[in-house]
Amino acid sequence: MEICIIGGFPRAGTRQFTDILNNHDNASIKGEFYPKVISSLLNVFQIADKINAGRWTGDNYRKWRMMSALNAYAAFSKGSNSPFDFQGLKVAGFKCPRAENNFLEIKEVIGFERVVFFYCVRNVKESFLSENSSFGVSVEDYVSKTTESMRSGLAVSENENVDFQVLSLDEFLCAHDKTSWVIDNMLSKFRELSFDEHDVRNILGKVENTNATERHGKKRRTRMTREECEFFNESSEFLRLAKLFEDKYKIKVL
């Protein structure tokens, strides 16, 4: 069984990409989970590791430990917190915007040897307007948290045994052939997941943008103020990291 984490920018397709995977019969992505529970879960599993040291065979203990950790995350998720059904499951994981900020703790809790990490992005101005419209996030808070997210994302990408893939919501929405886009950018990253173009077309026919701002009864802003634009343009580290992402992953976020 392979592990998948969907993180990156909030309001950048994490729900839509999760729904795509969840419509595959052999994949299950839970979430989003509450990051504040990570340190508590880590303490619990560290205690369990000490108790079980030398009592279980290595591979057997790691298998059951990983399954228990995944269900622990599921139990503290927003929305449905039902446990995973591991029967026939090839891909399991969760989505949480900015999960990259807690990657090392998450890795220690779950104990995976390899992970597919999808880092979701979109144009930063559109991302900010969506967060501001949905949650009242200020431009100062947005720039600060997105800077931390990009810095953490780049650090995650340098980890051994992490298949780090940037998913651009803008590219997905503009793609003429979304079936090929999903196969090339998402499904092909998994070693154990089987699929064909017909299956992917059917999946895309079922997936809607269920998390759009307007669908939650809120009016979405379409323009930034002059002061907000000036703050963006004066945030040097934010711009540096955004350009680094653009150059490294051949995407557009600015």
Distance between CA atoms of 83 and 79, rounded to whole angstroms? Answer: 12
Residues ≥6 apart with Cβ < 8 Å to 113 = 161
Name the token pair of 180.
């090929």
Give the Cβ contact number of residue 58 at 10 Å: 7
Give dist(CA 28, CA 197) in Å, integer. Answer: 20
Element (H, E) at 50: helix 38-52
91-95 and 115-121 beta bridge pairing = unpaired
- pLDDT of res. 79: 66
Structure confidence at residue 135 (pLDDT)? 92
Separation CA 31–CA 25 (nearest Å): 18
Model confidence pLDDT, tens digit, residues 43-55: 999 998 888 877 6
* pLDDT number for residue 217: 57
For residues 175, 180, 117 and 21, what is the CA-based torsion angle, rounded to 10 degrees?
Answer: 100
C-alpha–C-alpha distance, residues 221 and 231, integer Å: 17
Note whether 102 and 195 are within 8 A (CB): no
Global pTM reads: 0.92
Low-confidence ranges of the chain (pLDDT < 70): 55-58, 79-80, 209-218
Domain positions in the chain: 2-123+157-219
**Cβ contacts of 234 within 8 Å, gap of 6 or more:** none
pLDDT score at 80: 67
DSSP label of 174: H
Cα separations in angstroms, 44 against 35, 69, 102, 173 = 15, 10, 17, 41
> What pLDDT shows up at residue 170?
97
Helices within 57-212 (DSSP H only):
58-75, 103-110, 124-135, 139-157, 169-174, 178-185, 197-206
Residue 184 tokens, joined? 């090339």
At 119 the three-state DSSP class reads: strand
CA atoms within 13 A on the CB side of 195: 28
